Structure 1
Amino acid sequence: MIDLRRLHVLRAVDHYGTVTAAAQALHFTPSAASQQIRQLGRELGVALLEPEGRRVRLTPAAHRLLAHADDIQARWELAERDLRTDGDEPAGLLRLAGFPTAVTALLAPAAAALVARHPRLVPRISEGETADCFDLLFDGHAELAVVEATPDEPPRHRARFDQQPLVDDPFDLVVPPGHRLAGRDRVELAEAADEPWVVPAEPSTCRTHVLSACGAAGFAPDAAHEAVNWDATLALVAHGLGVALVPRMARATDAVVRLPCAGQPRRKLLTVTRPGGRSVPAVAAALAALERLVRTMPA
């Protein structure tokens, strides 16, 4: 009989990338995590870890086992939900996660609407970047997340999550009042190629979006400043220190001027659950609330 706890350690190593990172997430020592996987391998009669320099990595047999492990985990969660379901009325704790702008523009108003519509439902929101949201889902600390899709292909382990499009969020060029482009209805992004730029700091997903949009317009932005959050970006632009691409969901103030861009660079927002999670009444209610909310947003 396979020990499901050991199987979870194996899945954690695949998700986090290394035995050390998985052990930290599971509150194990690296040696204890390795021992759990080696014991699982002995139970199955195969080696699941092999040396790679001074570290270890998962063997081909481990990767074959992982496909079954994900199916086993999904079936186990389905059994738990079936036993705990009390009718179709959404109720109980619902843990939501999202990157900062998603919390402000989507999850906070959606949670308020959920409480008004379903008094027995208790939403709890955690803010984090996209990678953090996937970790919360994997660890069972969130049932639903709103994340940004990156322009690149997602890491392989994210295929174990159910990811569905929610809404496209356009980027606008933001300039200070009085800027030479401020009176325009629409601009070509290349018109700002020679400007100093305020760009998102690493490791923000939006940095990739901004650099990709500028690259598609034929230039690499002169990154005069870097900022982690949109409030800081808008403050730098308002003081005439540069221009920036800012998603429409990040609400700007009258201290800056928003200009739609030709070609409409945009980011895609996704809702993410573990497999089968969308059928849970509380999650389904939250998804419906998010869908109602995005339908009211300007294009």
Structure 2
Amino acid sequence: MEKVSRSFTVDLRGLGALRELDRRGSLAKAAEAMRLTPSAVSQQLAALSREWGVPLVRRKGRGVQLTGQARVMLRHADIIAAQLERARADLAAWGGGQRGTLTVGAFSSAISGLLPAALTELAATNPDIGVAVVEAEPPDLFTRLDAGEIDVALAVDFGQAPPFTDRRYTRTDLLTDILDVALPVTHRLAGQQRVKLRELATEAWIVGDAGSCCGAVTRSVCAAGGFTPEIRHAVNDWQSLAALVEAGIGVALVPRLVQPLHRPGLVLREPEGQPPVRHVFAAVRAGAENDPLLTAFVGHLVAAGRNAGGAPRR
């Protein structure tokens, strides 16, 4: 392969393709995230390889594997992406962040429990900002953030979310959201102030699907309690879940961010011992944290999290 020219240019699309391949693990998944065909992603990687004069991928079975040179490039690609976001933030700061648009991606209970207060404050301080809200969860939430389709992502720390050390994002912890046990008012444990989760090991459970943040959190909480729940009903909507609990066909864990549920036939009880929690955070693309509009909005999110009853995690 020819050595890289001193006058070479870098196609940023190729760097984006390399980052997606590293994150997704396959050409097909990278192409899906980028809304391209696998052939198009391969062509972008091949062009980048020619520009730099180094091999970036090698065949491994039916797929591909990143080379050592690709790993070196990825460190620089993350820095380049962050620097471009800083340039965007500097340009926004030139105008004071008083005009523009903001697109927020968030999971459902953050939309109901955090966004109304934060968006109300943003409208009061930045009345000329247009706002759009998109409901999404990881990994799709961060695919959209990477693609620039959203500016801020609200998520819960769980297996589908990026690790805390992911350099592509700047994170702000918003609150630690406690989960309570939801029981029908006629349940044998409804009269207790605190409930041992282990005592619910033989109950039918109402849980969101495994790919959702609360579905994943409930499964891990029960596992920590020493049992695998019998998930008889798969429900992601909180009001629907509450209605099923009230009807007496199962029990559930409900985050305080979506309470109160206002159902007379349902009671909420604290789990005994260390309460199960989920950690809620906001993320922006690395380098974008100095954008005045994003800075203002994330500040409003922190205040909304504090008022919702949670304290930012240290």
Tell me the residue number matched to 2:28. Answer: 20
Within a 5 Å distance, the mapping from 1:86-97 to structure 2 comes to: 86-97=94-105
**Segment of structure 1 superposing worse, 257-266 or 19-28:** 19-28
Q: Secondary structure at the match of 1:279?
A: coil
Which segments of 5 or more consecutive residues in structure 2 lack a partner in the other structure?
1-8
Does the CA contact (< 8 Å) of 2:31 and 2:41 recur in 1?
yes
Q: Which one is further off, 172-181 or 202-211?
A: 202-211
After superposition, the C-alpha distances for 1:80-101 in whole angstroms (9 at most, x for unaligned) are: 3323433434421011111111
Kept in 2, the 8 Å contact 1:174–1:258? The answer is: yes
Q: What is the percentage of aligned positions where both structures have the same residue? A: 36
Aligned-partner residue type, residue 40 of structure 2: A
Partner residue in 2 for 1:253 = 262
1:95-114 residue pairs with structure 2 within 5 A? 95-114=103-122
Q: Shift in Å at residue 49 of structure 1?
A: 1.4
**In the TM superposition, what whole-angstrom CA distance separates every residue of 1:222-265 from its partner, at most 9, and x where no partner exists?**
22222122222212111110111111112322231111112210
User: Does the 8 Å CA contact 1:50/1:59 hold for their aligned counterparts?
Assistant: yes
Q: 1:12 to 1:152 in 2, by over 3 A?
A: closer
Q: Distance in 1 between matches of 2:215 and 2:142?
A: 19
SS at match of 2:103: strand
Letter in 2 for 1:46: V
Of 46, 56, 75, 2:83 maps to: 75
Q: What is the total number of aligned residue pairs between the two structures?
A: 299
Q: Secondary structure at the match of 1:20?
A: helix
Q: 2:119 corresponds to which letter in structure 1?
A: A
Separation in 1, partners of 2:12, 2:291: 23
Query: Helix, strand or coil for the counterpart of 2:23?
Result: helix
Look up the equivalent residue of 2:304 and give its one-letter code: L
Say if 2:247 is the partner of 1:242.
no
Two-structure CA RMSD over aligned residues (Å): 2.0
1:190 aligns with 2:201: no
Q: Compared with structure 1, are the counterparts of its residues 236 and 159 closer, same or farther at alpha carbon in structure 2 (3 Å cutoff)? A: farther
Residue 292 (str. 1) matches residue 303 (str. 2)? yes
Question: 5 Å matches for 1:115-130?
Answer: 115-130=123-138
Could you tell me how far apart the structure 1 residues matched to 2:160 and 2:134 are?
25
C-alpha displacement at 1:212, in angstroms?
Answer: 1.7
Corresponding residue for residue 40 of structure 2: 32
Per-residue CA distance 1:115-159 (angstroms, 9 max, x = gap): 122112222111101212211111111221110001699459944
Q: Deviations over 1:91-116 (max 9, x none)?
A: 21011111111111112331122112
In structure 1, the gaps of 5 or more residues are none
Structure 2 CA distance for partners of 1:193 and 1:27, relative to 1, 3 Å: closer
Task: Report Cα offsets for 1:204-227 as digits up to 9, x if no partner.
Answer: 122221122112222221222221
Q: 1:53 to 1:129 in 2, by over 3 A?
A: same
Q: Provide the C-alpha distance between the structure 1 equivalents of 2:109 and 2:50, rounded to a whole number of angstroms.
A: 47
Inter-partner Cα distance in structure 2 for 1:108 and 1:13: 36
Moved more, 281-290 or 156-165: 156-165
Which is bigger in relative contact order (C-alpha 8 A, separation at least 6)? 2
Give the direction of change, closer, same or farther, for the CA distance of 1:11–1:152 in structure 2 (3 Å limit).
Answer: closer
Specify the alignment match of 2:18 in structure 1. Answer: 10
Aligned equivalent of 2:3: none
Pairwise CA distance, 1:203: 1.1
Q: What residue in structure 1 maps to residue 5 of structure 2?
A: none
TM-score normalised according to structure 1 size: 0.93
